[in-house]
Amino acid sequence: MSPLEAALEDYLRLRRALGHKLDDSGRQLTRFVTYLDFIGAETVTMQAALDFVLDADLNPGSTIPGRRLTAVRGFARYLAGLDGAAEVPPAGLVSSRARRRVPHIFSDEDVAAVIRHARASTPFPFRQATLAAMIGLLAVTGMRVGEAIRLGRADVSWDDAVILVRDTKFGKDRDVPVSASTIAALADYARDRDQARPVTTRLFVSLAGTPVAYSHFSQTFRAAVTAAGIGAGTGIQPRIHDLRHSFAVRTLLGWHRAGLDAEALLPRLSTYLGHREPRFTYRYYSDSRVIPIPVPSCA
């Protein structure tokens, strides 16, 4: 455990003892501390805080930057009282009001191009395989990035082709059935991973055998999207989360084209994606009725 991870653990324990739940703040600060450790920062700096809060992969019209700022400010104030060196970013840097963002709907060709450019970004075959497996899994399951990063080797039922997603956004586990081709691709990666990094229980790991850092993965994904020219000239900046949005919309379009009642089937998709209520999935249904997309092959 790094000094910053230990400080975060103490901070969250103290705040929770005072009655604060901090579920979302805890997740955001865990990502922030991972980012600080990744860049070698010893405490919170204004630049590191701004880079995290204003991450280009986030939707600036959502509430996430505002929530991140609130969480980082609280932790920075706590650290400043301990080391006197932490810099506290000022309030009001970003708006906390959400604005609806138009997503980029990834086609199969888009996903293949992102994987190709992500592979080209590193000379290490194992990292190439990890990036390809993660991006492919996100595209064909609609899982959240954090869920994929936290997957354990034992969370995949190879015979049943089912992935167990633990400790989801709303604290519930769920089963995610996948196709035979998806389980085969994961099995190929798992064999390479077990030979190269046999110690850790995580499915996806870094070159050092540690859990994949969200910040590093998102930067690589963003660079691959840019290199592939995806979204160029549309005014839309594709994000990792758009893979989840794309899966949902393409699934609904597949139901439409098969003559099924997509609206009636919406609760099934909601359960598969791990939404708390079907109403949170309805935005995908609305998008599927207005966004022209090629016939899906992975829905």
> Quick one: average pLDDT of 166-179?
83
**What tens digit of pLDDT does each residue of 25-44 get?**
999 999 999 999 999 999 99
* pLDDT for residue 209: 87
Flag whether pLDDT at 61 surpasses 60: yes
pLDDT > 70 fraction of the chain, expressed in percent and rounded: 88
**Residues forming the active site:** 144, 169, 241, 244, 275, 284
* pLDDT for residue 298: 40
* pLDDT for residue 23: 86
* pLDDT for residue 286: 61
Angstrom distance (rounded) from CA 173 to CA 117: 33
Burial call 6-32: b when 16+ CB within 10 Å, e when fewer:
ebbeebbeebeeeeeeeeebbebbbbb
* pLDDT for residue 32: 95
Lowest mean pLDDT among 10-14, 114-118, 153-157, 169-173: 169-173
Angstrom distance (rounded) from CA 221 to CA 118: 7
**Bridge partner list, 174:** 165
* pLDDT for residue 295: 41
What HEC string does the chain produce? Answer: CCHHHHHHHHHHHHHHHCCCCCHHHHHHHHHHHHHHHHHCCCCCCHHHHHHHHCCCCCCCCCCHHHHHHHHHHHHHHHHHHHHCCCCCCCCCCCCCCCCCCCCCCCCHHHHHHHHHHHHHCCCCHHHHHHHHHHHHHHHHHCCCHHHHHHCEHHHEECCCCEEEECCCCCCCCEEEECCHHHHHHHHHHHHHHHHHCCCCCECCECCCCCECCHHHHHHHHHHHHHHHCCCCCCCCCCCCHHHHHHHHHHHHHHHHHCCCCHHHHHHHHHHHHCCCCHHHCHHHHHHHCCCCCCCCCCC
**What tens digit of pLDDT does each residue of 134-163 get?**
999 999 999 999 999 999 989 999 999 999
pLDDT > 90 fraction of the chain, expressed in percent and rounded: 56
pLDDT band (50, 70, 90) for residue 294: very low
Q: Quote the tokens at residue 148.
A: 């994929």
Average pLDDT value over all residues in the chain: 87
- Highest-confidence segment of 60-64, 91-95, 198-202: 198-202
* pLDDT for residue 121: 95
* pLDDT for residue 141: 95
Q: Are 105 and 242 in contact (CB under 8 A)?
A: yes
Q: Dihedral sign, CA of 293, 269, 129, 226? A: positive
* pLDDT for residue 95: 64
* Residue 297 to residues 56, 60, 254, Cα–Cα distance (Å): 29, 31, 9
Angstrom distance (rounded) from CA 134 to CA 222: 14
> Quick one: average pLDDT of 227-255?
89
